[in-house]
């Protein structure tokens, strides 16, 4: 099981140190929440920030593009050092083509589904998918409440996708919500505030792993 701290909740005045700290604390990948102020209200960071941090870490970089028409940015984020590029099904005019483009850039292709989006929207893209991210909050900010009803979507995905596809959950993941996600079939877990608002990142990550077995 993969724990992916979301850098969105890190201290923005020392992102590099934060990244090094979560890597030492046992993170499995780094989740970069890119927001454009259109698909979601907030604006965060672009590919220059991702590129500037690439050499600080050996971890997998997962870039979650909460942006309209992500096709314009794929090449930049690929060059910046993303390993997985996640686009929103709701933000793509031609999702199958976009996922193919990500693969052609030599990157893993992920698609995120908003809480209101059905798994039917990706049924005919399964051949191109490396990861599906189930949004367990509405995208746009950290620290929101986990939406229980999305657990059903994880179960449906588990049933319908090839086992090689990573099922990731994003939003409101903490000690109280992670176990149910795992039981339903999730294999990777994005966590922002639960990790970065703690005083000890290593303890926070250990606690997440342990909650799965309690």
142 binds ligand DX5 (CB under 6 A): yes
Task: Give the residue at shortest CB distance from Zn ion.
Answer: 64
**Residues in CB range of 186: below 8 A, 6 or more apart:** 134, 154, 167, 168, 169
CB nearer to ligand DX5: pick between 107 and 141? 141
69 binds ligand DX5 (CB under 6 A): no
Q: How far is the CB of 18 from ligand DX5 (least distance, A)?
A: 13
88 binds ligand DX5 (CB under 6 A): no
| Stretch of residues binding ligand DX5 (CB under 6 A), selected from 87-95, 97-105, 139-147, 160-168 | 139-147
Binding test (CB under 6 A) with ligand DX5, winner from 69, 76, 144, 211: 144
Other CB atoms within a 10 A radius of the CB of residue 168 amount to 28
Phi, then psi, of 78 in degrees rounded to 5: -65, -45
64 binds ligand DX5 (CB under 6 A): yes
Positions in the binding site for Zn ion (CB under 5 A) = 33, 64, 170
Closest among 91, 89, 90, 94 to 110, alpha carbons compared: 89
Other CB atoms within a 10 A radius of the CB of residue 17 amount to 12
3-class secondary structure per residue, 114-161: CCCCCHHHHHHHHHHCCEEEEECCCCCCCCCCCCHHHHHHHHHHHHHC
Catalytic residue at 41?
no
Pick what 140 binds: ligand DX5, Zn ion, none; C-beta below 5 to 8 Å, kind-dependent: ligand DX5
Which candidate in 17, 28, 33, 130 is catalytic? 33
110 binds ligand DX5 (CB under 6 A): no
Which candidate in 36, 62, 101, 170 is catalytic? 170
What is d(CA 111, CA 133) in angstroms, rounded to the nearest whole number?
Answer: 6
**Residues in CB range of 25: below 8 A, 6 or more apart:** 195, 201, 202, 204, 205
Closest among 171, 141, 144 to 40, alpha carbons compared: 141
Catalytic residue at 33?
yes
173 binds ligand DX5 (CB under 6 A): yes
Q: How far is the CB of 161 from ligand DX5 (least distance, A)?
A: 21
Residues designated as active site: 33, 170
Binding site for ligand DX5 (CB under 6 A): 6, 8-9, 31, 33, 64, 137, 139-144, 170-173, 190-194
């Amino acid at each position: 099981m993969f724990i992916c701290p979301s850098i969105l909740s890190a201290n923005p005045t020392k992102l590099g140190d934060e990244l090094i700290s979560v890597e030492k604390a046992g993170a499995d990948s780094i989740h970069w929440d890119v927001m454009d102020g259109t698909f979601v209200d907030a604006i965060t960071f672009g590919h220059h920030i991702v590129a500037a941090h690439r050499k600080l870490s050996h971890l997998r970089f997962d870039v979650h593009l909460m942006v309209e028409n992500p096709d314009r940015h794929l090449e930049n984020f690929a060059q910046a050092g993303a390993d997985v590029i996640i686009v929103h099904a709701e933000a793509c005019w031609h999702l199958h083509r976009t996922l193919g483009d990500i693969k052609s850039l030599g990157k893993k292709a992920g698609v995120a589904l908003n809480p209101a989006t059905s798994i039917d929207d990706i049924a005919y893209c399964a051949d191109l998918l490396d990861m599906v991210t189930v949004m367990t909050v509405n995208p746009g900010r950290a620290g929101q409440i986990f939406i229980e009803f999305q657990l059903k979507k994880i179960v449906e995905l588990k049933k319908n996708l090839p086992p090689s596809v990573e099922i990731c959950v994003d939003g409101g993941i903490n000690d109280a919500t992670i176990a149910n996600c795992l039981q339903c079939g999730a294999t990777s877990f994005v966590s922002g505030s639960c990790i970065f608002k703690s005083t000890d990142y290593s303890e926070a990550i250990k606690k997440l792993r342990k909650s799965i077995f309690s």
